[in-house]
Chain A
Amino acid sequence: MRLAMLLSASAVFALATPAAAQEHSMHDMPGMVMPTAKPKPKPKPKPKATTPAPRRPQPAAKPAAPAPTGHEGHDMSGMASPAQSAPAKDQDTMPGMDMPADHRGHDMAAMSSGEPVGTDLPAGSAPAPTPPMDHYADRQFPPADMAHARDMMMRESGGQTMATVMFNLAEYQARKGRDGYRWDGEAWLGGDINRLTIKSEGEGVLRKGVEAAEVQALYSRAIGPYFNLQAGVRHDFKPGPSRTYAVIGFEGLAPYWFEVEGAAFLSDKGDVLGRLEGYYDQRLTQRLVLQPRVELNLAAQDVPENRIGAGLSSAELGLRLRYEITRQFAPYVGISYEAKTGQSARYARTDGDDSTTTSFVAGVRVWF
């Protein structure tokens, strides 16, 4: 039976090819190959007559939709020839028209000549079976081995843990008076949804040491396609006296490609602080990126011992131009303007510091 099918197939092929082979008349469009369908009905009934049954095992359940094989075969051999030259044309022109829905309907009607067959038949509405609870391979292999392999497969299919360390800012700041340095980085460890996130930022002055340094340890959870909710603790080593805060915040990608983060901090003294931060990576070329960045620090009250004033206590505006030698290593230059405002500014002046600083910066944006 198989041989018969193959032979008839090769007959079709031998007839079909010269037509399709464009030696004739360059009919290279799909529709134009279709005329070969004409000889098709002739050889087809042959195997069908001898083998009405499909090669694959017959199912136990009969489909709901009516599709007796023999009937439709009869239909085909009778109708196909005249009916098929028409659809051939249709097929030729339709793809250009970009209307898949129509196209489909058209084809269906055309091919089937009234009595649809095979994939042209609509699907029934039989209920889905209940998913089995066992694993089939457990019947053939020691279940313990399979369980082990299954765990590994699941881990390798979406359950991986990874980690990264990134410094958006790691720079030298040249300015009036004493030059300084600044860093702002983040590391995470975990999966797609749950992560341990460590953040750190701070700054210092050459030969004077670190002026501000904080570290946050946060549990981060993906709460949407773009945003993570983060909660944990923050500890400020500087400026003294050191402080510890409870943190709740968010981090993610806002519409128009703005990277944003924000957090509220409650100190062990009961003080409430806040921070909003955002930047935008404007690609000038594939590797040259201009990054405007803003950081606003807020306070609900004066915290004199840390020289923080209520309201907007300080603002930092930066504009940095980096060149991505690789995506992971990008030296940059830029300008950074930092202003203490309100009571914070008064604290600074009292201490004999400037309330605003403008720095030319050079650094490297790097991640591992």
Chain B
Amino acid sequence: MDFSTVDRRALLRGLGLAGGTAALAAWMPAWAQPVSQGLIAPLPTVSGDDITLRIARQMMTIDGHRSPAIGINGTVPAPLIRLREGQKIRLNVINDLDEDSSVHWHGLLVPPEHDGVPGISFPGIKPRSSYLYEFPVRQSGTYWYHSHSGFQEQLGLYGPIVIDPASTDPVQFDREHVIVLSDHSQLSPEAIFRRMKVNPGHFNFQRQTLSGLLSGRDQKLKDRIDWGKMRMDPADISDVTGAAYTYLVNGHGPADNWTALFTPGERVRLRVINASSMTTFNVRIPGLKLMIVQADGQNVMPVAVDEFQIGVAETYDLIVTPTEDKAFTLVGEAVDRSGMARATLAPRAGMIAPVPPLRQRPLATMKDMGMDMGGDMPPRGVDPSAEQNVSRTLATPGTPAVVPMAGMDHGPMNHGAMDHSAMPGMDHGEMSGGAMAGHDMGSMSMRDFGNAPQVKRGPGVQTISPMPVDRTGEPGQGLADVGHKVLVYRDLMALTRNPDVRAPSRSIDIHLTGNMERFMWSLDGEKMSDVHEPIPFIEGERVRVNLINDSMMAHPIHIHGHFFELVTGHGDHRPRKHTVIVQPGGIVTWDFTADAVGDWAFHCHLLYHMAAGMMRVVSVRPKGDAA
């Protein structure tokens, strides 16, 4: 295993080769393809110092179904923008839509006027006009770009950015593939939003039912009554589900089977970007260890995992080293298990690997409501009538959901497995049980504003977590008992020492609030549309931010113009990120240096949560400026 041999040419060859064999299969509807041969369609790439991007409506074909979309230069996802650290880039964005548009460079440190948020950083791009974005490229890594106007992102206005480092890349690889995960619906985004406002749980077809109770699945009767009393639905994992979505890899459906090629023995770098509007994915490649080497464009100490959860707008780079001459399936399972994105890694075109079945959707626990009492009962299986989308039919009969690490013939057993056998015992010991949980539940208020004095009391705040906890050491919802190693935020350590290791001069709390029954989402109980006052910072000050999730849903929180460092116990090597998932009932703490003067958007990156108001302006000003 030698990391010092780089072969950049092999990478370029790999990217180039794929062109010819392209999209023949895409012309045939999915039903006409007895076995998907896989689609070898590399992402169109643009590079150079002057790049033109043209936003326009188009059609896209997913698993044989055509649907309206918005793309750039005729493609969804938008073309891969390949840059080099240190270059000065000019991006001329032309808006051919009949409505205002915009492009935000997600994770790129740019001057505020080029950040691309209409109403905050610039006026937007009017129909049939253009805007010239111009900035120096100050960083390297994997990023992405997307519209910040209306619901255009849901319709396909997103694309990847890869920036090569100015000098040697500490991550060494023979070949790379960009994996853009996303969600696409035949429904218009406006219709999706309205349905959720009118009918909470509209897209959830994995709810608890009487048939589930009678067949001994999901919660027991007592728990159902307790949760019913609180008007909380533990099956509410995702707002928009596979009932409305097809999950995509690089714009292709699970039946299209987008395929990435490799030569056995190569180190393959996968740059995974979650460009979804609403979907948290759990990503794995059965049979391969995933070596996480970068998060949100920032290099991290390599961590080997079997699976990782990627929130909307996060990116992870990983190295896989397939040594056998066989295909592997990349599975991007929606967090609520209502469907999957699927791609194939194969030595040759046309090879496919077994597809594991969708696993069972998890249920929220008391801990997800910010009541950590360790009394959660072990899962009893999912409702028998629960529905998953058509991607479930891709499962290869007899394939287990989790492959025990095969091919690892070295003596010592996997530590992950060991950890696991020990963990469930400690995690939900028999001692507490439902009775205790019930007791505590009664005495603990679900909506005590004394626990969050800064939160504005109103109909938009359904619950206040009475005892939120730091959950950065836990895998995401439904991943605690999957039987293999899942990445947790605490595993991440920056590869290099952090640029600013000062202690924060102050700290602030920001509560993530919402009401699932009204589909209202806010920060500190106030919607963006209610609040004109920004969250203020002085240029250069270092501030600790505590994000406290008072809702029972996970929120990927993103700040523009800055990176922050997660406070996860790694001193001066804390991971630097632009987006972080705050798990239900959880707290995430980060420090950041407010070094970019200007007004910046700060929001939940679930598109419809942002549209519902879960956003704020962060303003960074020089000391004494205009205050």
Contact = CB atoms under 8 A, between A and B. Distances in A.
Contact of B301 (A2, A16, A54, A156): A16
Given A123-B544, A132-B627, A95 B473 contact: yes
A66 B530 CA distance: 39
B299 interface: yes
Interface in B496-517: 496-508, 515, 517
A152 interface: yes
B471 interface: yes
Given A103-B473, A164-B198, A20 B540 contact: no
B593 interface: yes
A189 to B, nearest CB: 12
Nearest to B535: A131
Contacts of B384: 285
B593 A56 contact: yes
A126 B491 CA distance: 31
Interface stretch (B36-44, B345-353, B410-418, B433-441): B410-418
Contacts, number: 406
B401 interface: no
Given A13-B171, A131-B535, A117 B572 contact: yes
A327 B470 contact: no
Interface string A112-147: 100011111111111111111111110011100110
A256 B228 contact: yes
Nearest to B243: A327
B122 A137 contact: yes
Contacts of B228: 255-257
Given A13-B495, A56-B500, A145 B123 contact: yes
B619 interface: yes
Contact of B112 (A107, A112, A137, A154): A137
Nearest to B471: A100
A96 B423 contact: yes
Contact of A111 (B4, B420, B571): B571
B462 A225 contact: yes
Given A95-B490, A117-B571, A284-B211, A155 B462 contact: no
B517 A136 contact: no
Contacts of B515: 225
Contacts of B197: 162, 192
A137 B617 CA distance: 12
Interface string A154-169: 1111111010101000
Nearest to B593: A56
Interface in A26-75: 26-30, 32-33, 36, 44, 47-48, 54-61, 63-67, 69, 72
A260 interface: no
A83 to B, nearest CB: 11
Contacts of B518: 192, 222, 225
A100 B469 contact: yes
A148 B100 CA distance: 12
A325 interface: no
A54 B470 contact: no
A112 B503 CA distance: 14
A142 B205 CA distance: 48
Contacts of B117: 153
Interface string A231-246: 0000000000000000
Interface stretch (B162-170, B175-183, B248-256): B162-170
Contact of B291 (A21, A65, A141): A21
B529 A157 contact: yes
B515 to A, nearest CB: 5
B469 to A, nearest CB: 5
A286 B415 contact: no
Interface of A: 2-3, 5-10, 12-14, 16-18, 20-30, 32-33, 36, 44, 47-48, 54-61, 63-67, 69, 72, 76, 91-98, 100-101, 103-104, 107-108, 111-112, 116-137, 140-142, 145-146, 148-160, 162, 164, 166, 192-193, 222-226, 253, 255-257, 282-287, 327-328, 367
13 contacts: A13-B3, A22-B289, A28-B485, A30-B488, A59-B540, A101-B469, A116-B571, A146-B119, A149-B122, A153-B528, A157-B613, A255-B229, A287-B205
Given A54-B500, A97-B427, A151-B119, 16 more contacts: A14-B3, A18-B1, A18-B3, A61-B538, A63-B502, A66-B503, A92-B415, A101-B469, A123-B505, A125-B506, A130-B536, A132-B625, A146-B122, A225-B460, A226-B517, A327-B195
